[in-house]
Structure 1
Amino acid sequence: MRQAEGGLRERKKRETRQALAEAALRLALAKGADHVTVEEIAEAADVSVRTFFNYFPHKEHAILGRDPEHLERALDRMRTAPADESPLTTMWHVVSDVLTNLEREGELSRRGELIMSSPTLLYQLMMSSFDDERQLTAALAERMGEPPASVRPALVVSTAGAACRVAMELHKAAPDRPVRELVAESFQLLAEGIDPRFEPTTKGHS
Structure 2
Amino acid sequence: MNKTATRRGIVGAVLGLVRSHGPGNFTIDDVAASAGISRRTFFNYFPSAEAALTVSMDEFLTGVLGCFETRPHDEHIVDSMLYALTRPQDPEQLAVMAELHALAQANPEMMRYELETWDRAEQRIVTSVKQRLGEDADPFYISCLVGSVLACGRSAFSEWQRRNRGSITPASLAELETLFVEAIGFLRHGFTRSP
Taking only the aligned residue pairs, the percentage that are identical comes to 21
User: Which residues in structure 2 correspond to 1:52-63 (within 5 Å)?
Assistant: 52-63=42-53
Q: In the TM superposition, what whole-angstrom CA distance separates every residue of 1:135-189 from its partner, at most 9, and x where no partner exists?
A: 2133234434533221223322332233234323432167665134223234224
Cα 1:137–1:184 shift into 2, 3 Å = farther
Cα 1:147–1:195 shift into 2, 3 Å = closer
Normalising to structure 1: TM-score of the pair?
Answer: 0.70
Which residue of the other structure, out of 157, 168, 172, is the alignment partner of 1:164? Answer: 157
Contact 1:137 1:157 in 2 (8 A): no
Match of 2:126 in 1: 137
Match of 2:5 in 1: 15
Which residue of the other structure, out of 9, 25, 33, is the alignment partner of 1:43? Answer: 33
Question: Residue 17 of structure 1 aligns to a residue in which SS?
Answer: helix
RMSD: 3.1
Q: Which runs of 5+ in 2 are unaligned?
A: none
Contact 2:153 2:183 in 1 (8 A): no
User: Is it true that 1:190 corresponds to 2:190 in the alignment?
Assistant: no
Normalising to structure 2: TM-score of the pair?
Answer: 0.73
Tell me the distance in 1 between the aligned counterparts of 2:185 and 2:130. Answer: 18
Tell me how far 1:31 sits from its aligned partner: 2.2
Q: In the TM superposition, what whole-angstrom CA distance separates every residue of 1:93-123 from its partner, at most 9, and x where no partner exists?
A: 3xx44x43425xx645644443333232122
User: Which residues in structure 2 correspond to 1:1-206 (within 5 Å)?
Assistant: 12-66=2-56, 72-83=62-73, 84=75, 86=79, 87-93=81-87, 96-97=88-89, 99-102=90-93, 107=96, 110-145=99-134, 146-150=137-141, 151-172=144-165, 177-192=171-186, 193=189, 195-196=191-192
Contact 2:86 2:181 in 1 (8 A): yes
Q: Which runs of 5+ in 1 are unaligned?
A: 1-8, 199-206
